[in-house]
Structure 1
Amino acid sequence: MDSYTPELATDQIRLLTKVARMYHERGMRQPQIAAQLHISQPRVSRLLKRAVDLGIVRTTVIAPRGVYAELEEQIEQAYGLTEVIVADTEDQADEAHVMRALGAAAAVYLETTLMGGERIGVSSWSSTILATVEAMHPRPTPVADQVVQMLGGVGNVTAQTQATRIVGRLAALTGAQAVYLPAPGLLASGDMRQMFVTDPNIEPVLQAYQGLTMALVGVGSIEPSPLLRESGNAFAESELPALRGGGAVGDVCMRFFDETGTHVESAFDARVLGIAPDTLRAIPRRVAVAGGTRKTTAIRAALRGGWVNVLITDLQVARSLV
């Protein structure tokens, strides 16, 4: 930015200031200013630009209440993310309120950014993703080609209805084809998983993961969510110490990672029927809808490990991240 110099005459400064005030404070248009001051419109334009260069005019963006643009930018820069959206969630004690706020923010994000031709992978047992699809409005024209289940969606009948609804409703809202993974997400053994992998109904779904352009996921902590526990796809309580012993703090699609975001490889992986860690992290746009203070450590680790590159979270978690 230029600075004032002795060579810049006082009358020039006066004219610059006068034009700037007429334009920015009084709302006058450039032709009006030119006519009133008896100067040309091109000169008015040059004077306005010069006023900015000299710091006479400074542009300030004031975020309205409930918008946290500066905080979002801080998180983006700290973790190398493409985008961060902080939902306005002042009542942190009410988990249902936080869930609705996250779902509403994610719904607006998807409605705004889905432009067509997307192949979207979704996690099956995420309450925040369910809240997202419940909050979305149908698009007037198709904005996605496929919605693919990234983790086996078969489980307890009541919970399975929710997992099916995530895929089916998102597909209906976006005009896409729904692709289900008709198997449990967690199997009793690696041998049992191997049987499913070669099933003609399962194999094409697993192959579809290679062409996904976007992933829509939740972030889990070691303690399974109520929806996951109800589904019957959660690891048993007796198995959790082994995960903790390996350093695991959270998961995305039941792929666990430590505090640095590094994948915790274990025998548990062989029992999960869903997208592989490397395949997941190769998807160009990976959107996490996750919040709640109990998940702060897991969310931070997921960001560090590159499991996601777009984060939609609540205000308290966002503040903790920076």
Structure 2
Amino acid sequence: MPKDFIDMDDHELMVRISWYYYKEGLTQSQIAKKFNTNRMKVMKILEKALNKNVVEIKIKDPYVNLLSIEKELISKYGLEDAVVVPVHSNDKKDISRQLGLAASQYIQRIAKNGDVLGIGWGQAVSNTIRNLSLDHIDNFYIVSLSGGMLPLISDASFFSKYSSYFKILPAPLLVSNEKVAEDIYNEPEVRSIKNLWDLANHLIVGIGSMSSDATILKRGYLKDLHFASLKQKGAVGDILGQYFDEDGNIIDFETNERIISFDITKLKEKQNVIAVAGGENKTSAIRASIRAGYVKTLIVDENTAKALLSE
């Protein structure tokens, strides 16, 4: 039987109670009974033991490291928030699926009644939509931030379930010439969607790389010749089909005049732009987009996050 409170100094008391609680696994009520006191006093002593560094708690789990990486990303790049996804394989499709799942969970956590959610172009965003559920909110809108979205989301059960909430821009991502783009922007339905762009308080975008497996290439919107020319001009990646250099400056290119998309320079004015992007081939593009102020929250895989922190 341990000594009573009155027979021990504060330090000895903290050590003994901490030992019983953390090493022996006794409950606070059991400890209180041993020391002939109450649970509230035991709880306060345990709290004091932590504050005085008598007890040091270490969490041994791989996810703790991810939390540390998230904190470093936020600090280094001035982000509002970051989510780092553990890597289970190097398969790009698997990474994209994992990112989409994490992004959908993040959006479900922050979404509120009356929100206007803008969704961008790309495979990672498509995977986000596939996993998203917004049953807990109502009176919301989901608006596409570019043309060419329907093929990327129409096979998702989310789209059929919430189709009445969707406002899809009725156009491809790129059209044949500037005049066609101008005519599309003048359509009443498109003007209505552009008005919703101004109201969107959460924008979900993907970040494209300059690799041969870029979604914009696979979907046939850009030819290899265009891609090579963009690389020569210093492009490191794109958001919504708009290419930028390592400083985030928009590349002057002929497709800019015929793209049907939200102007990414206006992303800087938005409160919460969530980028869902991964794969180490996107490191330069992600870094540039953050530094340019296009991105406020980053959802990224572990390896890419480490690459972003290594420079």
3-state DSSP class of the match of 1:188? coil
Change (3 A) 1:65 1:123: closer
2:227 pairs with 1:240:
yes
Alpha-carbon offset, residue 39 of structure 1:
4.0
Contact 1:249 1:298 in 2 (8 A): yes
From 191, 194, 198, the counterpart of 2:186: 198
Q: Which residue of 2 aligns with 1:5?
A: none
Q: Which residue of 2 aligns with 1:115?
A: 112
Moved more, 51-60 or 172-181: 172-181
What TM-score do the two structures reach when normalised by structure 1?
Answer: 0.82
Moved more, 290-299 or 52-61: 52-61
How many residues in Structure 1 have an aligned counterpart in Structure 2?
Answer: 303
3-state DSSP class of the match of 2:154? helix
3-state DSSP class of the match of 1:55? coil
Q: Identity, % of aligned pairs?
A: 24
Alpha-carbon offset, residue 320 of structure 1:
0.6
Structure 1: stretches of 5+ with no match in the other structure: 1-8, 154-159
Q: Trace 1:161-176 onto structure 2 (pairs within 5 A).
A: 162-165=151-154, 169-172=157-160
3-state DSSP class of the match of 2:189? coil
2:249 pairs with 1:262:
yes
User: Which whole-Å deviations, capped at 9, do the CAs of 1:169-190 have from their partners, x for residues lacking one?
Assistant: 5455568611011112212332
Q: Trace 1:30-49 onto structure 2 (pairs within 5 A).
A: 30-39=28-37, 43-49=41-47
Alpha-carbon offset, residue 214 of structure 1:
0.9
Contact 2:125 2:276 in 1 (8 A): yes
Moved more, 45-54 or 302-311: 45-54
Q: Which residue of 1 aligns with 2:177?
A: 189
CA distance in 2, matches of 1:143, 1:57: 46
2:207 pairs with 1:212:
no
CA distance in 2, matches of 1:109, 1:116: 16
Alpha-carbon offset, residue 219 of structure 1:
0.5
Alpha-carbon offset, residue 251 of structure 1:
0.8
3-state DSSP class of the match of 1:202? helix
Contact 2:237 2:245 in 1 (8 A): yes
Corresponding letter in the other structure for 2:170: P
Structure 2: stretches of 5+ with no match in the other structure: 1-6
Change (3 A) 1:176 1:55: farther
RMSD: 2.8
What TM-score do the two structures reach when normalised by structure 2?
Answer: 0.85
Contact 1:102 1:314 in 2 (8 A): yes
2:122 pairs with 1:134:
no
Change (3 A) 1:91 1:164: closer
2:176 pairs with 1:180:
no
From 61, 64, 68, the counterpart of 1:63: 61
CA distance in 2, matches of 1:222, 1:144: 38
User: Which whole-Å deviations, capped at 9, do the CAs of 1:157-207 have from their partners, x for residues lacking one?
Assistant: xxx7523527x7545556861101111221233232112211222221122
